[in-house]
Amino acid sequence: MRAFDYIAPDSTESVVAALAAHSPNARLLGGGTDLIVDLKHTSNTPKVLVDVSQVEDFHGIEMTDRGLRIGSMVTHTEIMKSEIIQKELPAMVDAAHTVGAVQTRNLGTLGGNLVTCVPSMDSGPTLLALDALVTIAGPKGSRQITLEEFFVGPRKTCLEPDEVLVDIIIPKENVGKPTHFLKFGLRKGQALALVNAAASFHVGDGNIFSAPRIALGAVAPVVMRATKAEDFLAGKEITEANMAEAGEIAVTEIKPITDFRASKEYRRELVAVFTRRCLAGAYALHQSRA
């Protein structure tokens, strides 16, 4: 690894100022579980690493007027230990639990996971299924966009080189929304997903799917929503047959590839099964709370 300068600002403003002064020769450092590994293998070493883990604004999990706010530097372990997330959004705990091993979860952050923007990231599907928003700070101030807009392509977000991810917001109406996450890897721990998936919906009057969401990872260039399957479900009765049909429709929306982990045909089969199981899991959660 080549030498670089290291700075650790303690406020959003000083991070933005550091980026303005050093971009495009600066990289942001969160927990470092991804970036430090990358730096060991690249000749394109940044001149400055801006460690954002000391910024207070980037920490904390709390309910606000807008919804559940999760700082970008919240670690996967903190998500697993959060009482409000355990109670309201256990699918997020399940997703965090599948990331790497204990050491990776202790250091790795939600923000870092989203910014890597790899299609197999484990926090993406659940957050997409909850219509999460992200707050971005930069020289022109701060802006808020949907997570869907944030993901642009493999390893590419809409962040400009002088911008930083501040927090993730789960809109108020979706805090408590029945949601279920599943991941399939080649072994139980320390494996990237062949496919991961999440589904959420509210149970409407007459036992119908209301605001259904289906999000899928590792089957397209970015974590994606299966909107045709969602449209099929909206307003329909909650039945096993409809869940299975949604799974079949989701398969028509994905663009899986064959790689050393799995063939695209196998990924298609997983999507059909996981969509159905995630919907069933979300419904089981709803019933357990009734």
Ligand X SMILES: Cc1cc2nc3c(=O)[nH]c(=O)nc-3n(C[C@H](O)[C@H](O)[C@H](O)COP(=O)(O)OP(=O)(O)OC[C@H]3O[C@@H](n4cnc5c(N)ncnc54)[C@H](O)[C@@H]3O)c2cc1C
Contact flags string 39-78 toward ligand X, x per CB under 6 A: -------------x-----x-------------x------
Specify the 3-state DSSP secondary structure of 157. Answer: strand
* 99: contact with ligand X by CB under 6 A: yes
Sign of CA dihedral 248, 263, 98, 133: negative
Q: Pairing relation of β-strands 5-7 and 26-29?
A: unpaired
* 32: contact with ligand X by CB under 6 A: yes
* 79: contact with ligand X by CB under 6 A: no
* 9: contact with ligand X by CB under 6 A: no
The rounded distance, in Å, linking the Cα atoms of 103 and 158 is 29
- Kindly tell me which residue out of 26, 89, 96, 112 binds ligand X, with binding defined by CB under 6 A: 112
Binding segment for ligand X (CB under 6 A), chosen from 110-118, 223-231, 247-255, 272-280, is 110-118
Cβ nearer to ligand X, comparing 78 with 122:
122
* 165: contact with ligand X by CB under 6 A: yes
Candidates 265, 42, 24, 268; CA nearest to 163 is 24
* 125: contact with ligand X by CB under 6 A: no
Cβ nearer to ligand X, comparing 181 with 232:
181
- Kindly tell me which residue out of 74, 89, 164, 182 binds ligand X, with binding defined by CB under 6 A: 164
Cβ nearer to ligand X, comparing 33 with 200:
33
Q: What are phi and psi for residue 83, nearest 5 degrees?
A: -65, -40
Q: Are 285 and 178 in contact (CB under 8 A)?
A: yes
| Subset of 140-159 contacting ligand X (CB under 6 A) | 159
Q: How far, rounded to the nearest angstrom, does the alpha carbon of residue 86 sit from its chain's CA centroid?
A: 17
* 35: contact with ligand X by CB under 6 A: yes
Binding segment for ligand X (CB under 6 A), chosen from 30-38, 146-154, 174-182, 263-271, is 30-38
Q: Is 213 exposed, middle or buried (0-12, 13-18, 19+ CB in 10 A)?
A: buried
Binding segment for ligand X (CB under 6 A), chosen from 62-70, 114-122, 205-213, 267-275, is 114-122
The rounded distance, in Å, linking the Cα atoms of 86 and 81 is 7
Q: Is 43 exposed, middle or buried (0-12, 13-18, 19+ CB in 10 A)?
A: exposed
The rounded distance, in Å, linking the Cα atoms of 91 and 89 is 5
- Kindly tell me which residue out of 19, 28, 134, 282 binds ligand X, with binding defined by CB under 6 A: 28
Binding segment for ligand X (CB under 6 A), chosen from 5-13, 25-33, 143-151, 250-258, is 25-33
In 181-263, which residue ranges form alpha helices assigned H by DSSP? 227-233, 240-253
Q: What are phi and psi for residue 123, nearest 5 degrees?
A: -90, -15
Minimum Å gap between C-beta 254 and ligand X is 18
* 85: contact with ligand X by CB under 6 A: no
17 Cβ neighbours under 8 A, 6+ residues apart = 9
Cβ nearer to ligand X, comparing 52 with 238:
52
The rounded distance, in Å, linking the Cα atoms of 143 and 41 is 33
Specify the 3-state DSSP secondary structure of 214. Answer: strand
Cβ nearer to ligand X, comparing 9 with 31:
31
List interacting residues with ligand X (CB under 6 A): 27-35, 37, 52, 58, 72, 98-100, 104, 107-109, 111-113, 115-116, 121-122, 159, 164-165, 190, 192
